[in-house]
Structure 1
Amino acid sequence: MTSKKALLLSTAIVSALGIGLEAALAPAAAQDEAIIEEILVTATKREQTLQDIPIAVTAFNDQMLQKAGVTDMRELTQLSPSLFLTSSASEAAGAVARIRGIGTTGDNPGLESAVAIFVDGVYRNRTNIGLSELGAVERIEVLRGPQGTLFGRNTSAGLIHVITKSPTDELSGYGEASYGNYDAIRMAAGISAPLVEEKLAARVDGVYLQRDGFFKDKVTDEDYNNRDRYMLQGQFVATPNDDLRIRFLVDYTDRDEDCCAAAVIRPSAVSNAMIGVLGAQFGSGALPGESPYDRRSATSPGRGFQQDEQDWGASMQIDWDTSFGSLTSITAYRDWENQRSQDVDFTSLDLVYRDEDGYTQDFETFSQEIRLNGKWGVLDWLIGGYYANEDLKLEDAIRFGTQFTSFADLLVDLADGIPGNGQTAGGAPWPGYNALTALVTGGAITQAFPAGNGVILDSFDQNSKNWALFTHNIIAVSDTVDLTLGLRYTEERKKLDALATTNNPTCLALVQAAQGGLIPASLTQLPCAPFWSPLLNVDGSDKRKEKKFSGTAALNFRVSEELSTYASYSRGYKGGGFNLDRAGMVQGAANVTQLQFEEETVDSFEVGAKYRNANGRINMSGALFYADYNDFQLNAFNGTSFVVVNLPKARTYGVEVEGIWYPTDDLTFTGGLTYADTQYGKKGFDGALFAPPSAGNPLGGAFWQLPGNTLTNAPKWSITGGATYQHPIGNSLSILLHLDGRYTSKVNTGSDLDLEKVEDGVFVLNGRIGLGDINERWQIEVWGRNLFDKNYLQVGYDAPLQGSGTAANTVAPNTQVFNAFLSEPRTYGVTVRGKF
């Protein structure tokens, strides 16, 4: 869809809402229509209506989520146009959330998230940790723009806050079961019961999900990208008296899945030739399907994408109304651990791999927040403090496979332009790395890259201590004007202990030979790639300290009982840290201090308006926004290493419109659009990383295409729309019809903006039809997601060790193989639910 068509569609949505506005304003109709209950939110750490908050925020209650079939955070994008979610090498460790085109790219846990996720007031360390089954949800709030005053660091683009259902004083319960294609089975159930009348209540919820994978491997016949997970949550709420409420929660999530396989989106004649030659030699030269959307992978036998995750935590929230003000305390402990294996080269050749527990991450976090809120005359004041102690442990080991030596020999042959003939470009015999290693070491011919060698262990232990003081105050300047002033001071200390060790003597031997002029230096590039280079071995420590102010100032003007407008400024902050990857150091002079990167800051300006008519049947909001980012953090993979860098500038500006229209008690229309124009800065991009291709540097720097261009996975246009019709049939039954869709304009899915990674605009449609009891005691629904079976890329990347270059480069020939992690195909099924 072109931008012109997108504009026409967005205009149609706004026009439809405008028609509803005119209808709602008709006096005669207004008298007959029922009042639609308004959703209350806690975006300012107070319970307020959306109209009263000078923030761009969208809230979805449990009924909205259920009718749209939202059971996973990723599905929320169908309802929220500004939100964009993708996942890459691991759903458990490689998910990225973006708001208004801004997010943290890549799966390096050393980088904090630009879009924070909170569950019941407790921060989840990284985006991927919060993207699992939702369970029983009361509502979800999506806050757009920096939220550094009340929610702290790592909300430089916005946040998602999930509020789960609390126990009630009445015995109640629910259960549901779903079955779909790919043998998908999802079951959820919960029960809430009073234990001591009006004093103590308890609740238990659980979810189980299992589904076959979307990818079928041509070599191993394994299914990849499957689902096998469950979640349990238990909680108590105690109310000893009317002034005191204590809520205690504990939850546990387990995932045991094979994810994530990738598809080849642009093969290379060079790579295909290598796989053909070596495949004939080793009997394993399978290639994926002709189309990436055949979803056929080709991995090495014994290598795969196993991932295990355990996530558990406990929290206690105390709300105490005192004579001085309302005191809130949230104490929490969380422990998240992930282990995964990986066929690192994503081919049927056994080149490089991670063992079953070759990559592990572990987050342990204790946090404490205390707030005191009260009112003195025209002042609604809030003060608070926050403390968090986070331990992050990462261990990684990338090993040589059984066929790496043959691959390395053949790669050198092909680089010389004589495929597979065993000669160099000068006509001399190419002895291969086995003989060459023996020659330079003076020993017998041995295996240059023995299987299992490589990185024996890279271990990164990081501790982060963060504390903050904050205040957020709303001053009633007049009956119609409120002034909001907020300020937060944050201090964070991070300490890193790093140990990087390899078993790869071939690299050192060849480097010495090259330095002595015995061999060309080019022959050391592959043996000394950052993946396994002993020139990057290190054992050391480093630490950093940050002191930052963030804050907000906003003016809210109630034009009438139905319309309010606001203007705001916000200062946001995302913590700096350490690149937890050996490639962040300098070969031959490795030092832990080279892993540091700086904090990211943002200045955001916004003006908006919110409308809700007297009976609540029309709800509309709109905002114009501009955000300027300094030292924008970027993480990118260039085929041989991961690069983390602070970019001097980035920005986003645009417009948002969202609305809900209830023309009748049975019918609901929703719509929204976001236009976000993002851009990396044009100035200040100095150094080798940003150098354009030239005769002396034919490939250019890793980020040479970034200056002045659109950010990764940042669509200019995102448009959502939905319709729900629920109508009684007779006196006992009710029918449900629901459709929702999302259009996303063209994006570049690669962090380095290679042209091969561009995805054109995509429209995805979901729907469901249901029949149930008029009081919703039971329901049966038939549903489908991605009904038109639209195929698209989530993340494109350079296939490891398989060529170089891009179509955008006119200096160097393009031999690079490009892979991608794909969207989910069409899914459909049936759900049965009941409650009491």
Structure 2
Amino acid sequence: MTVRFLLLATVASTSLAVPVAYAQEQTAPVADEAVEAAPTTTNAIIVTARRRAERAQDVPLAIAVLDSKTLESSGTFNVGRLTQLQPSVQFYSSNPRNSAANIRGLGAPFGLTNDGIEQGVGIYVDQVYYARSASSTFDFLDVDQIEILRGPQGTLYGKNTTAGAINITSRKPSFTPEGRAELTVGNLGLVQGKASISGPLIEDKLAVRLGTSVTKRKGSIYNVTSRQDINDQDNVGFKAQFLLRATDSLNLTLSGDYSRQRPNGYGQYYARVGTTQRALNRQYEQLAAASGNYSPPSFDPFDRVTDLDAGIEAKQDFGGVSLLAEWDLGPGTLTSVSAWRKWKWGPQNDRDYIGLPITTVSQNPSQQEQWSQELRYASSGKNKIDYVVGLYAFHQTVDTEGLQVQGPLASRWLLSGANANRPEILNGLRSENDIGLKNTSLAAFGQLTWRITDALRVQPGIRLNYDKKNGKYISTVFDGAGRPVPATGGTTENGLQRGVLSPLNYSPKFSDWNLSYDFTASYDVARDVLAYATYARSFKSGGINLSGIPLDTAGNPITAVETVKPEKVNHFELGLKTQFLDRRATFNLAAFWTEVKDYQATVTNSQVGVIRGYLANADKIRVRGVEADFNFRPSDRLTLYVNGAFTDHEYVKFPDAPCPPERSGGATTLPVDANGNIIGTPTAPGVPSTAANPSVSAPFCDVSGQWLPGISKWAFAYGAEYNIPTKLLGEQGEAYLAFDGSYRSKFSSNPSRSIYNDISGYSLANFRLGFRTDGKWDVSAWVRNAFDEKYFELLQNQSGSTGLVVGQPADPRTYGVTLRASF
């Protein structure tokens, strides 16, 4: 069945992937022998996907490589913008903390971030693992190359890279003096500057590289309440590297970086209204009418105005220090990577998403520290066996002090019946949260490549992991008069208050061993034709719920959901990597089938007024599809690429999933008369409940066979660049015109697919026109989203089953001018 599907998908797919044309096809052909003799040559793409330097086309792995020129020219200055170049990459962010990078639709559950689980896509910068996705929202600083490894990478990149890895490499300190500078100005007040300088401090012994980046831009949304633009950019970053040639065989690189972000963001606001099964007078339109005839400043979200009345901030400070030691021992290299990193998060959110005092304060300031140590030995010689073995240790602490306060209209929106007209029940209700995590991970790993013949190779790999997580979640709740709300019992009002903000005190724990392994066979069909097949068994470690857990009917926490099981991944992949026309054309194809048991999903708390969800395991999901890449440089004047992916995805089995909004908000049981007969006929999904026709909303829904969130079935990226030799101001160079386009088909923006939360497909077009000289300077005018496509990055629902859908519109058309200089 698996093979038949892959073959059919291969024939059906016209998708082509990986825009590496700018890196790969601007180079002259190079013999394999030359790559082996000089692995740092610029005549081929050199990657370290298998923890050793080798030509990308020789790696039996679906890998995309983006060099610095591609990143700079396309305006890709952070991880989020990789999605417009790589169809298999998805990045969703309602704010930096609630960010997730997914590959092939897998990686992190869709919804609010829960600190108690790991990411499924490993993000590495200069071989250091970034444990929190938020810390990867930095502006790229002096980046040399990005490798995107698709599919499980659990052998060499850690137990949690069940979906893939993003491997970012910075430019290294140089013993030849050099410098780079870049300035960009554009609409929305955009000013972005980047600069780096490198050279020797002690000739042939000690070199340094210093870099900085500053980005400032007005927000694309105007808040009429605060009279400020929100979702703006205010980022500053610094990086320093020192390279010491301690001996002829030992290099030491000490790196330090710091980034600061101070935007007024991020806000989601009115997008549309749907109906739920809640009584009609408890749904958005009638609630808004009963709240002083409230209406948003615009019913068109692409007017880009809102009236959010709570504070909106997304402060971040993150940075760290690492020491990389590389010791050439002749037959192999011993590598040590020691690192410490810290991330501090200071947010403010409007969790009711409208300009009414329902939730007046919602913030979870957090700080994370991580320490890691990797020791790795890689042998790559002329014999028939290459191998990598290593040890890895990681420790992380996360501390969060959350605060949530309900306002004078909270009762009207979150309670029902006569209680909705009693603002004193919820007004001033306050939850103070003390949340902590200690996370320790240890691993031993190895991967071997055996060249059975000159053409046939097998590559087994294995990784043994131990994970231990200890957490705490203490939520202390006070009513409007400052009195503690008891965890159980108390007054009737206390019971209603617990339905919105629950006092909780629990200490979840998880520990487990797991074994990840993979096996790849590859065969050189011809000199530039490589075929491979891979099976991988991978794990993402179990987790603990650190966003609160639901209560039972007696008001006690349901401790059975304190932890979630590890994800267990079975992955199959077939690939073909080819080059032809004197290596001016590259065509690579990958077909994959991935099944995940105990998939870690974000589910909605079935208590109507509760604002946050929690984690649970879906029984089984499946993602399968085909990716391919084609890039072609027919002449020195023209470069072309086309990329894309077909991805089929579904919950194979998830019978107890959260219900979509159209199937929520009704009674938990139907009313009966004195004889036990049901009164009325239950209403259909999206039809409000009435006394004559009541509705019942199940606490869970079976979504087996439905779409997974966040994944487009079809995704493409395509582009071209044409240049003409010419002179400008007496300088010989080339004028160029370039285009980059992308398309994504419709996808679901809700953990359980909803008729209200699909995001329609959209296409983007970016253009640039410029002039550059060979290695000196480059000036260009550019426009992004040239046709001002109006689309949402994500949609979500207001709590309480009111039917309000809120969204985060993507950037409108932007344009500007960029000047780069090198010396």
TM-score between the two structures when normalised by the length of structure 2: 0.86
Unaligned ranges ≥5, structure 2: 1-8, 21-26, 28-40, 275-279, 671-694
Which runs of structure 2 are paired with 1:351-750 in the superposition (5 Å)?
Answer: 351-354=358-361, 358-375=363-380, 377-405=383-411, 407=413, 412-413=416-417, 432-433=421-422, 447-451=424-428, 453-455=429-431, 457-504=432-479, 527-529=497-499, 531-534=500-503, 537-538=504-505, 540-584=506-550, 586=552, 588-590=555-557, 594-613=561-580, 615-637=582-604, 640=610, 641-682=612-653, 685-686=655-656, 696=669, 698=695, 700-701=697-698, 704=701, 706-730=703-727, 732-750=732-750
- Preserved contact between residue 270 and residue 296 of structure 2 (Cα < 8 Å): no
Deviations 1:12-42 (A, max 9, x none): 969x99xxxxxx9xxxxxxxxxx99210101
Provide closer, same or farther for how the CA distance between residues 509 and 118 of structure 1 changes in structure 2, counting only shifts above 3 A: closer
Secondary structure at 1:532 match in 2? coil
Provide closer, same or farther for how the CA distance between residues 304 and 286 of structure 1 changes in structure 2, counting only shifts above 3 A: farther
- Provide the identity percentage: 27
Deviations 1:684-717 (A, max 9, x none): 6258979988983746456526211111011111
Secondary structure at 2:422 match in 1? helix
Which residue of 2 is the match for residue 418 of structure 1? Answer: none
- Preserved contact between residue 471 and residue 488 of structure 1 (Cα < 8 Å): yes
Which residue of 2 is the match for residue 762 of structure 1? Answer: 762
- Preserved contact between residue 359 and residue 395 of structure 1 (Cα < 8 Å): yes
Deviations 1:157-192 (A, max 9, x none): 111111011111111111111111111111111101
Provide closer, same or farther for how the CA distance between residues 291 and 637 of structure 1 changes in structure 2, counting only shifts above 3 A: farther
Which residue of 2 is the match for residue 96 of structure 1? Answer: 100
Q: Give the AA of the match of 2:556.
A: A
Matched, 1:796 2:788: no
Which residue of 2 is the match for residue 520 of structure 1? Answer: none
Which runs of structure 2 are paired with 1:55-94 in the superposition (5 Å)?
Answer: 55-88=61-94, 90=95, 92-94=96-98
- Preserved contact between residue 465 and residue 492 of structure 1 (Cα < 8 Å): yes
Which residue of 1 is the match for residue 292 of structure 2? Answer: 279
Provide closer, same or farther for how the CA distance between residues 580 and 544 of structure 1 changes in structure 2, counting only shifts above 3 A: same
Which residue of 1 is the match for residue 779 of structure 2? Answer: 780
- Preserved contact between residue 726 and residue 734 of structure 1 (Cα < 8 Å): yes
- Preserved contact between residue 727 and residue 734 of structure 1 (Cα < 8 Å): yes
CA distance in 2, matches of 1:702, 1:780: 58
Provide closer, same or farther for how the CA distance between residues 507 and 45 of structure 1 changes in structure 2, counting only shifts above 3 A: same
Provide closer, same or farther for how the CA distance between residues 510 and 564 of structure 1 changes in structure 2, counting only shifts above 3 A: closer
Matched, 1:341 2:312: no
| Displacement of 1:287 | 1.1
Deviations 1:125-167 (A, max 9, x none): 1223212201111100000000000011221111111101111
Q: Please, which moves more after superposition, 469-478 or 729-738?
A: 729-738
CA distance in 2, matches of 1:703, 1:617: 55
Matched, 1:330 2:331: no
- Preserved contact between residue 669 and residue 724 of structure 1 (Cα < 8 Å): yes
Matched, 1:229 2:235: yes
CA distance in 1, matches of 2:814, 2:604: 31
- Preserved contact between residue 159 and residue 463 of structure 2 (Cα < 8 Å): no
Q: Give the AA of the match of 2:105.
A: G
Provide closer, same or farther for how the CA distance between residues 364 and 273 of structure 1 changes in structure 2, counting only shifts above 3 A: same
Equivalent residue in structure 1 for 2:196, among 167, 190, 195: 190
What is the RMSD computed on CA atoms of the aligned residues? 3.0
Q: Give the AA of the match of 1:685.
A: P
CA distance in 1, matches of 2:487, 2:623: 49
Secondary structure at 2:649 match in 1? strand
Q: Give the AA of the match of 1:708.
A: G
- Preserved contact between residue 610 and residue 622 of structure 1 (Cα < 8 Å): yes
Provide closer, same or farther for how the CA distance between residues 802 and 98 of structure 1 changes in structure 2, counting only shifts above 3 A: same
CA distance in 2, matches of 1:290, 1:142: 40
Q: Please, which moves more after superposition, 730-739 or 265-274?
A: 265-274
- Preserved contact between residue 713 and residue 748 of structure 1 (Cα < 8 Å): yes
Matched, 1:834 2:821: yes
CA distance in 2, matches of 1:166, 1:60: 17
Provide closer, same or farther for how the CA distance between residues 61 and 400 of structure 1 changes in structure 2, counting only shifts above 3 A: same
Runs of 4+ in structure 1 displaced over 6 angstroms?
6-10, 687-695
- Preserved contact between residue 658 and residue 752 of structure 2 (Cα < 8 Å): no
Deviations 1:423-478 (A, max 9, x none): x6xxxxx79436xxxxxxxxxxxx33343x320x2112111110000010000000
| Displacement of 1:497 | 2.5
CA distance in 2, matches of 1:690, 1:67: 41
- Preserved contact between residue 254 and residue 311 of structure 1 (Cα < 8 Å): yes
| Displacement of 1:511 | 6.2
Secondary structure at 2:285 match in 1? helix
Secondary structure at 1:714 match in 2? coil
| Displacement of 1:112 | 1.3
| Displacement of 1:736 | 2.1
CA distance in 2, matches of 1:460, 1:714: 31
Which residue of 1 is the match for residue 33 of structure 2? Answer: none
Secondary structure at 2:366 match in 1? strand
- Preserved contact between residue 493 and residue 544 of structure 1 (Cα < 8 Å): yes
CA distance in 1, matches of 2:488, 2:540: 42
Deviations 1:400-438 (A, max 9, x none): 224435556xx635xxxxxxxxxx6xxxxx79436xxxx
CA distance in 2, matches of 1:699, 1:797: 23
- Preserved contact between residue 263 and residue 295 of structure 1 (Cα < 8 Å): no
Matched, 1:119 2:128: no
TM-score between the two structures when normalised by the length of structure 1: 0.85
Secondary structure at 1:77 match in 2? helix
- Preserved contact between residue 344 and residue 368 of structure 2 (Cα < 8 Å): yes
CA distance in 1, matches of 2:573, 2:649: 16
CA distance in 2, matches of 1:485, 1:360: 43
| Displacement of 1:279 | 3.2
Which residue of 2 is the match for residue 420 of structure 1? Answer: none
Which residue of 2 is the match for residue 20 of structure 1? Answer: none
Equivalent residue in structure 2 for 1:817, among 804, 808, 822: 804
CA distance in 2, matches of 1:155, 1:13: 24
Unaligned ranges ≥5, structure 1: 1-5, 18-23, 25-34, 414-423, 425-429, 435-446, 515-522, 804-815
